[in-house]
């Protein structure tokens, strides 16, 4: 091998080493990124608890008005409106009663709730509560964690909050804080989606829940008023009299208590 050939061989070996080296570095970076993504994916998954999924479609707004002031609160505890424009009063206190499987309801609605479940059972309809009272602190914690996860991904705090609000309800604006809202599913289909309306449980509830003081809170086609998509699983206790009147009139709680539609002026997807 002459000098020239030796030089060529050295050059070739050098180039090969560089290429292999670069490949190894790139491979490691790629693996790390994948791992990171997987970890982030897990973290996000853990935060999305089933009982907060329903608020996925709630659009975030910074302008939460404080219409639930003392003068504005209805005298009747059962008619308190909690929605995006009516956050729950900060000092709201409620006595809760256990309804099984870790679920709780406002003690004043307990008897009617039990009567409803029993009546359904007598007719061979088995319904289950999947979400009930939700603590304000718990909701705040969930919301903050979610916001933080978006900040970690590089969002500004502002847009991180907006992103978080797509998945977790803004604390204080979920009706579940009252202890008067229940997500109810039928024994044969337990998912919280529109197909719930085809179940035995929903059909029975639609016909009879008002007899026990409950209304279907977010009916189909009323998103402009309620600010929430059609939820054929979310029922709200309003008391016997109001439930009868609201059902007979075919109106929403917002209309019954004379509140402004939540989405006034905005077009929302349904």
User: Applying CB under 5 A, which residues contact Zn ion?
Assistant: 54, 183, 234
Q: Locate tokens 């080296």: which residue?
A: 21
Nearer to Zn ion, 153 or 166 (CB): 166
Q: Report, in Å, the least distance between residue 256 CB and Zn ion.
A: 19
Residues 6 or more apart whose CB falls under 8 angstroms from that of 216 comprise 205, 206, 209, 232, 234, 235
Residues 6 or more apart whose CB falls under 8 angstroms from that of 218 comprise 226, 228, 229, 230, 231, 234
Nearer to Zn ion, 161 or 217 (CB): 217
Nearer to Zn ion, 125 or 178 (CB): 178
| Closest CB to Zn ion: residue number | 234
In 3D space, the residue among 187, 174, 256 whose CA is nearest the CA of residue 215 turns out to be 256
Nearer to Zn ion, 112 or 183 (CB): 183
Give the phi and the psi of residue 189 in degrees, each rounded to 5. Answer: -150, 115
Catalytic site residue from 175, 222, 231, 254: 231
Q: Is 231 a catalytic residue?
A: yes
In 3D space, the residue among 232, 208, 204 whose CA is nearest the CA of residue 218 turns out to be 232
Q: Report, in Å, the least distance between residue 113 CB and Zn ion.
A: 15
Q: Report, in Å, the least distance between residue 20 CB and Zn ion.
A: 57
Catalytic site residues?
231
């Amino acid at each position: 091998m002459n000098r020239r050939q030796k030089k060529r061989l050295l050059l070739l070996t050098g180039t090969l080493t560089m290429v292999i080296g670069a490949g190894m570095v790139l491979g490691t970076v790629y693996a790390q990124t994948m791992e990171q993504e997987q970890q982030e994916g897990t973290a996000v998954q853990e935060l999305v608890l089933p009982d907060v999924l329903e608020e996925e479609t709630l659009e975030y707004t910074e302008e939460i008005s404080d219409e639930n002031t003392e003068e504005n609160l209805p005298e009747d505890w059962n008619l308190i409106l909690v929605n995006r424009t009516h956050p729950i009063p900060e000092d709201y206190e409620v006595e809760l009663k256990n309804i099984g499987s870790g679920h709780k309801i406002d003690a004043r609605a307990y008897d009617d709730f039990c009567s409803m479940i029993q009546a359904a059972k007598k007719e061979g309809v088995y319904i289950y509560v999947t979400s009930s009272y939700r603590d304000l602190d718990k909701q705040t914690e969930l919301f903050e964690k979610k916001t933080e996860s978006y900040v970690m991904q590089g969002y500004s705090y502002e847009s991180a909050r907006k992103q978080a609000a797509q998945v977790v309800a803004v604390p204080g604006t979920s009706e579940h804080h009252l202890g008067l809202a229940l997500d109810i599913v039928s024994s044969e289909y337990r998912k919280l989606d529109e197909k719930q309306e085809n179940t035995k449980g929903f059909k029975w509830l639609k016909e009879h829940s008002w007899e026990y003081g409950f209304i279907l809170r977010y009916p189909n086609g009323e998103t402009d008023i309620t600010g929430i998509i059609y939820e054929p699983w979310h029922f709200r206790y309003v008391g016997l009299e109001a439930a009868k009147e609201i059902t007979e009139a075919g109106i929403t709680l917002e209309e019954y208590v004379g509140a402004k539609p939540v989405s006034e002026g905005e077009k929302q997807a349904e």
